[in-house]
Chains A and B, each alone.
Chain A
Amino acid sequence: MSTLSASAITAPSSGWRRVQAIWARNESLSLLIFLVAVVGLFMALEPTMRQTRVYWDLLREVSPSMVAAVGVTLLLLSGEFDLSIGSMLALTGVVIVDTFNQTDSMWIGLAAGLLTGVAIGATNGFFVTVIGMESLMTTLGMMFAIRGLVYVYTNQTPIIDENRFQQFTRIWYRNIGPVPQPIIIAILIVIGAWFVAARTEFGRNVYAIGGNKQAARVSGINVNRHKFALFVVCGTMASVAGLLIAAQTDTGYFNAGLGFELQVLAAVVLGGASLAGGQGNVLSTALAVLIIGVIGKGMRLMNIDTTQQLLVVGLVMLVAVYYHGIRKATAAQITQKQEAIRSVSPGQGTTR
């Protein structure tokens, strides 16, 4: 093809192309820029958004979503869904506070709460990997089943912590320095998940499973075992989120986390994860959670009808997904062009 344009791309002087390539291949970067832009926009529009306090509050508020989104992202990397996280969140809260009341022990309550997520994650994993049921449908069923169970058990009345455990509510309200404790928990989980996904054999195998399941299988990777583990992880993360929410109000609320699964999924998708699996990373997801959080917070402070956030979030999601699509297409195009050059210029061939 044309050797002229070829040299234009490889030439170091062509800074714009290079910028374009960096942009196209790096989703976290775009999200970070977007986040800064959104923050800047609200700072300009709304004076209260210029106070640091607002951002500490914001970080506290988004931490449950961030934790749950990590689990969903990891699971989605392998190409599977979990729609039951909202119901799990409610069940965890109910189990925790109810166990408080039954046993008068905070630690037993917390343990029971986390075990809830593990157990339901394992159930989801069993249905999907052992029986071979489709995850979207299975977890949709689980979502109703668990929510129903919560309704039946609580008779749709909130369960209030009779012991008023101070230590429990402090999980939510405590600050370490100026930093709210929940966001520290969330960030630790994000970093841990990022490390596992990017640096460990388990994580790489998960990407392989999502990228080409057949290739992973014939390479001797036990696809089902990995997926099962991810369902358990996702369930556990949902329970951690449920724990945080319950600590906020010191109550087990039957309607906690209604619609949570779709909000989280929206953030995960905004973060650039592909519904087909194999693409996405937890850092981008965390940034996306922050973006949605800032938009919500900013609009609330501006006294825009609170419910209209939904509208904006919906629009942002659509634009973001479209944008990610363009970005990926550009990345592929750049690759193709470089490929064309490579096969034309003999110097870069496979000669040794």
Chain B
Amino acid sequence: MTVESAQVNPALQGAARSRSAFESAVRRLFTSQEGVLFFIVCGLWIYLSIRSDVFFTERNIGVMLSQVSMIAITGVGMTMLLIAREVDLSVGSLQAFAGVMAMQSLNSSSSLIVGVIVALLVGAGVGLVNAGATLALKINSFIVTLAMMQILRGLAYTSTNAAVQNDHKIPAFRQIFNGALIESPIRIPNPVLMMIVIFIVFGLILNRTTFGRQVYAIGGNPSAAALSGIPVKRIKTICFVITGMLGALSAFMLISRMNSGQNNAGFGFELQVIGSVLLGGASLAGGKGTLLGTLFAAVLLGTLNNGIVLLGYNSNWQTAVVGLMILFAVLLDTLRRRTTGQD
């Protein structure tokens, strides 16, 4: 439609460039997945603000976004992995395992730094193993990480609940993800601040560096990428490691917020993360997806959960809503691909 009419000669193209850039940005806002999500979130926020006095308060939004932050932060890594046409189902079990490991090392070292480093190292190690099994043994990452999911859950259970209580009493431990560095003009809880920083950093990496471009290219067409001299395995490995580390970071956020290790944490977490990423516009077929989409999708799900509680609906609806949102997203994506004649 618009494609044909836009076939003007190159000279004209230059003159019209700035205008068409604006136009396409506007069009993108309305047609892209993240644009649609943005409007849905806005609509929902307005609706909930009208229906509930509590919703649009600093405190409620802060709590809601803090809850969202763990899914969203892990979702950053997962987005990169899905763009590169891989997946990690082990992030849920990792949340338990990395949390337990961090808590144990906190207890034995009484040092916050050590705890954080252990958590991140565990995450990086798990990511490396996932990458190694996927890339060196050439096993589908869906299966590798499904196995890893069981393995990590098993390892997490090797320490009992009692063993991972907060015995170290480091004051900063609770503070780090319950407090807020920024109190004015509005209070931004640390998990939310963390989330914002991570999204900005990785957003820049994904969109402004050769690495980011290569991630998209690998997922869009692995063999074309390899033939263009892109180190496919190295880049996929980095994506796995980033996912593991961000998963471990969210595990640390969880134990800080809960004030104890949780060896049964993160059941179904992997599917919520993947669900958000896919709702945000990524595809299991690789090559597409944006961090903004993931963020909006995670916020959307958080808002829905929050709204269900605030409006006094049965909180059991929360699970169903996640499922319906995923179905809706897939439906939307399928219909859109049909009409544009892609695929």
List of A residues within 8 angstroms of B149 by Cβ = 262, 314
Q: How far is the CB of B143 from chain A (nearest CB, A)?
A: 5
List of A residues within 8 angstroms of B321 by Cβ = 148
With contacts A137-B330, A141-B327 taken as known, whether A314 is within 8 angstroms of B148 at the C-beta atoms is: yes
List of A residues within 8 angstroms of B275 by Cβ = 140-141, 144
Please state if B147 and A144 are interface contacts (CB–CB under 8 Å): no
The contact of B142 among A275, A307, A313, by CB within 8 Å, is A275
Please state if B146 and A265 are interface contacts (CB–CB under 8 Å): yes
In the assembly, what is the distance between CA of A312 and CA of B326, in Å?
A: 32
Please state if A309 and B154 are interface contacts (CB–CB under 8 Å): yes
- CB closest chain-B residue, reference A138: B330
Interface: A297 (CB within 8 A): no
Proximity bits, B308-319, A CB within 8 Å = 1, else 0: 000000101111
Interface: A56 (CB within 8 A): no
In the assembly, what is the distance between CA of A311 and CA of B144, in Å?
A: 13
List of B residues within 8 angstroms of A148 by Cβ = 316-324
Please state if A137 and B278 are interface contacts (CB–CB under 8 Å): yes
Interface: A143 (CB within 8 A): yes
Interface: A322 (CB within 8 A): yes
- CB closest chain-B residue, reference A275: B140
List of B residues within 8 angstroms of A317 by Cβ = 143, 146-147, 150
Q: List 19 A-B contacts (CB under 8 A).
A: A131-B334, A136-B284, A141-B323, A141-B326, A141-B330, A142-B323, A144-B271, A144-B326, A151-B319, A155-B314, A155-B316, A266-B150, A275-B143, A308-B157, A310-B153, A311-B153, A315-B151, A318-B143, A325-B139
The contact of A134 among B146, B284, B322, by CB within 8 Å, is B284
- CB closest chain-A residue, reference B317: A152
Proximity bits, A141-161, B CB within 8 Å = 1, else 0: 111111111011001100000
Q: How large is the interface on A (under 10, 10 to 19, 20 to 34, 35 or more residues)?
A: 35 or more
- CB closest chain-A residue, reference B156: A307
Interface: A237 (CB within 8 A): no
Interface: B135 (CB within 8 A): no
With contacts A152-B320, A266-B146 taken as known, whether A310 is within 8 angstroms of B157 at the C-beta atoms is: yes
List of A residues within 8 angstroms of B150 by Cβ = 266, 310-311, 313-314, 317
Proximity bits, A325-337, B CB within 8 Å = 1, else 0: 1000000000000
Please state if B137 and A262 are interface contacts (CB–CB under 8 Å): no
Interface: B274 (CB within 8 A): yes
Interface: B113 (CB within 8 A): no
List of B residues within 8 angstroms of A311 by Cβ = 150-151, 153-155
The contact of B267 among A142, A155, A258, by CB within 8 Å, is A258
- CB closest chain-B residue, reference A149: B320
Interface: A269 (CB within 8 A): yes
Interface: A133 (CB within 8 A): yes
List of B residues within 8 angstroms of A136 by Cβ = 284
List of A residues within 8 angstroms of B329 by Cβ = 141
Q: How far is the CB of A330 from chain B (nearest CB, A)?
A: 15
List of A residues within 8 angstroms of B153 by Cβ = 307, 310-311
Please state if A146 and B139 are interface contacts (CB–CB under 8 Å): no
Interface: A305 (CB within 8 A): yes
In the assembly, what is the distance between CA of A137 and CA of B275, in Å?
A: 8
Interface: B331 (CB within 8 A): yes
* Given A262-B146, A310-B151, 20 further pairs, Cβ under 8 A: A127-B331, A134-B334, A136-B284, A137-B278, A137-B326, A141-B323, A141-B324, A142-B323, A152-B317, A152-B320, A265-B146, A266-B150, A269-B146, A307-B153, A311-B151, A311-B155, A313-B150, A318-B147, A321-B139, A325-B138
List of A residues within 8 angstroms of B327 by Cβ = 127, 138, 141-142, 145
List of B residues within 8 angstroms of A151 by Cβ = 316-317, 319-320
Please state if B143 and A321 are interface contacts (CB–CB under 8 Å): yes
CB interface residues, B 161-220, toward A, < 8 Å: none
- Tell me the total A-B contact number using a CB cutoff of 8 A: 138
Q: How far is the CB of A59 from chain B (nearest CB, A)?
A: 23
List of A residues within 8 angstroms of B278 by Cβ = 137
Interface: A15 (CB within 8 A): no
List of B residues within 8 angstroms of A347 by Cβ = none
Interface: B41 (CB within 8 A): no
The contact of A307 among B146, B157, B323, by CB within 8 Å, is B157
List of A residues within 8 angstroms of B324 by Cβ = 141, 144-145, 148
List of A residues within 8 angstroms of B147 by Cβ = 266, 314-315, 317-318, 321
List of B residues within 8 angstroms of A309 by Cβ = 154
Interface: B230 (CB within 8 A): no
Q: How far is the CB of A61 from chain B (nearest CB, A)?
A: 18
- CB closest chain-A residue, reference B272: A144
- CB closest chain-B residue, reference A258: B267
Interface: B158 (CB within 8 A): yes
Q: How far is the CB of B273 from chain A (nearest CB, A)?
A: 12
Interface: B29 (CB within 8 A): no
List of B residues within 8 angstroms of A147 by Cβ = 319-320, 323
List of B residues within 8 angstroms of A141 by Cβ = 275, 323-330
Interface: A47 (CB within 8 A): no
Proximity bits, A283-314, B CB within 8 Å = 1, else 0: 00000000000000000000001011111111
List of B residues within 8 angstroms of A156 by Cβ = 316
- CB closest chain-A residue, reference B270: A262
